[in-house]
Amino acid sequence: MTPPLPKATPTSEFPRNDWKTLRTLLPYVWQYRMRVILALSLLVLAKFANVAVPVVLKGIVDGLDPKSSPLVVPLALIFSYGALRLAATALGELRDAIFAKVAQGAIRRVALKVFEHLHRLSLRFHINRQTGGVTRDIERGSRGISTLLNFMLFNILPTLVEIALVTAILVAQYDWRFAGVTLLTIAVYIAFTLGVTEWRTKTRRAMNELDTKANVKAVDSLINFETVKYFGNERYESNRYDESLGKWEQAAIKNEVSLAILNTGQAAVIASGVTALVWLAADGVAKGTMTLGDLVLVNGFLLQLYSPLNFLGMVYREIKQALTDMEKMFSLLAQNTEIQDAADAQTLKTQAATIRFDAVDFGYETNRQILRGVDFEVPAGKTVAVVGASGAGKSTLSRLLFRFYDVSSGRITINGVDLRALTQASLRAHIGIVPQDTVLFNDSIYYNIAYGNTGASRDEVIEAARSAHIYDFIQSLPDGFDTVVGERGLKLSGGEKQRVAIARTILKNPPILIFDEATSALDSKTEKAIQAELVTISANRTTLVIAHRLSTIVEADLILVMEGGRVIERGTHRELLDLNGQYARMWALQQQTSAEEPVV
């Protein structure tokens, strides 16, 4: 029985857990523990200086009483007042400078880990995901780390420290009612902010989902712009994008309305608290139990305390949003790495590789069987070709050989060793492929050829281009090897892209070669020249050729004919013609088609 295949879990299915998100981030921050401790120490010192400012101001106001010395006493306090204000700002800036390495370092390491993990995930995950959505999640998640660290450590924590200091001073020097009103106002403010923000988070999360979907549609449409133009569907694509934007617009409007409700409620709570405290202070001055300096002190505390509290609502919203964004990014790390190296995986080291498919069954889904009992061998240094109708499972063979997927049953071996017992890196280092659909990086031709061996010299890259019969074409371009090929190589024709892919594989110089319709996009003259070159390259290498044009594989040591995921015929070109089966019929049909083609 075929075992069930794991599926990539959509990020939206992961349960929301802010504490889990924070625990995931903590190790990246704690790598810089000394900087964190120093920054927190400066934070506390800055808040002590900040809270001392109204205390000194009280002394200045009381010192200006005509009954005391108006020149000597306030002068010292005035200098202290200025020094404290400067210290509060300077310590805060120094804290930010020291902590910058922590925040940026954490962002870099998290982003790198997610990027590396995405490359470790199986082809199944990348086929099921849409690139625009993934990159958007990483972008927002990285930005969320910076937001979380800056706001939580430099807004939330300082505010809590300041509240504690102010409350302690109010309890020690004044009526308990001052501290009571202050704490009650803060409690009501925080409770209201948390409640409304939790309600708003659902709207904001829905808005983000719609934003991601709109971005995915835009990216997908722009990547496939040629197809859009072929079918004249510009208006259709615009309507699809506008439909997504329309849903996002409604969610954004709802988000703004809820924000207005939150801001109004916060302002009402703060106004009530400020009014009560000023009334208590004014009453104390009127009764003679408090001085004008005390009124200034209480008012100064209020201004310093409620200003960050007024900002606290926005900070909390941003932190919640940052956690939501980080959750989506970290959920990418939670994706199961379907294809993993075994704990005792061997490193493949060979120049004579014998490949064997041993009773291989495989399906991309449990209800979609592709290969059924495929069994054949590619001896070291020999060439085996696979032919058959579309959907017969030919290209699946190359994906399994690269171990993009694991077989459902049976096994694939190299020199008798199961692929699952080899490290993926060493396995893939031994295989070179020229795919039918060549996708190039949006970089120079030189970069794309050199990608086959990033340590190759320029002379080696040029020689690879000559072997692929693309050197003269490259030299005819204004920028030569520095010509940028565009997104997915769209500035080059299909044949030009294929020749770049051939050059790249030649440069890699692997002991195992896979040609998946390697000359399908070439004209007849170039195909013959390239085919001769491929024969030369294949000499003494283990080669698997997936072909549609039978004329390109007549010299193969063994030809397999596949149908419905099974090998139905095998033999040399002559043996298969003598068999007068499926291969012979395909050969006759292609010969007839070639004869009917007009001479241009």
What is the pLDDT, as a whole number, of residue 436? 77
Does residue 160 lie within any of the structural domains? yes
Single out the residue of 99, 97, 98, 107 nearest to residue 143, CA to CA. Answer: 107
Cβ atoms < 10 Å from Cβ of 16: 12
Give 186-196 pLDDT, tens digit per residue: 888 888 887 88
Residue 10 banded pLDDT, cuts 50, 70, 90: very low
> Per-residue pLDDT for 369 more than 90?
no
Single-letter code of the amino acid located at 515: F
Does residue 531 lie within any of the structural domains? no
> Per-residue pLDDT for 14 more than 50?
no
Angle at CA 193, nearest 5°, toward 192 and 197? Answer: 120
> Per-residue pLDDT for 599 more than 60?
no
Give 395-429 pLDDT, tens digit per residue: 889 889 988 888 989 999 999 999 999 998 899 89
Does residue 456 lie within any of the structural domains? no
> Per-residue pLDDT for 7 more than 50?
no
| φ and ψ of 98, to 5 deg | -70, -40
- CATH number of the domain to which 50 belongs: 1.20.1560.10
Contacts of 373 (CB under 8 A, 6+ apart): 359, 360, 361, 410, 566
pTM above 0.75, yes or no: no
Distance CA(458)–CA(435), nearest Å, equals 24
The least confident of 32-36, 70-74, 240-244, 542-546 is 70-74
Single-letter code of the amino acid located at 248: W
Taking residues 515-528, report their average pLDDT.
Answer: 68
Residue of higher predicted confidence among 384 and 145: 384
Does residue 350 lie within any of the structural domains? no
Helix H or strand E segment including 413: strand 409-414
What is the pLDDT, as a whole number, of residue 11? 38
Backbone region of residue 415 per phi and psi (left: phi > 0; alpha: psi in -120 to 50; beta: other values):
left
Distance CA(313)–CA(321), nearest Å, equals 12
Residue 462 banded pLDDT, cuts 50, 70, 90: very high
Does residue 542 lie within any of the structural domains? no
Contacts of 169 (CB under 8 A, 6+ apart): 51, 55, 301
Instruction: Please give the structure tokens belonging to residue 204.
Output: 């904001």
Does residue 216 lie within any of the structural domains? yes
Distance CA(195)–CA(316), nearest Å, equals 11
Give 311-360 pLDDT, tens digit per residue: 666 777 778 778 877 877 887 777 777 788 888 899 988 888 999 999 99
Single out the residue of 438, 418, 439 nearest to residue 427, CA to CA. Answer: 418
Does residue 36 lie within any of the structural domains? yes
Instruction: Please give the structure tokens belonging to residue 52.
Output: 């001392």
What is the pLDDT, as a whole number, of residue 221? 85
Taking residues 565-573, report their average pLDDT.
Answer: 91
Taking residues 81-89, report their average pLDDT.
Answer: 83
Does residue 347 lie within any of the structural domains? no
Single out the residue of 457, 532, 467, 468 nearest to residue 497, CA to CA. Answer: 468
Distance CA(356)–CA(29), nearest Å, equals 48
Single out the residue of 322, 280, 271, 339 nearest to residue 145, CA to CA. Answer: 322
State the residue for tokens 């106002």.
Answer: 185
Residue of higher predicted confidence among 16 and 10: 16
Residue 593 banded pLDDT, cuts 50, 70, 90: low
Identify the domain containing residue 266 by its residue range. 16-333
The 3-state secondary structure of 367-400 reads CEEEEEEEEEEECCCCEEEEEECCCCCHHHHHHH
Tell me how many domains the chain contains. 1
Is there a contact between 154 and 95 (Cβ–Cβ < 8 Å)?
yes
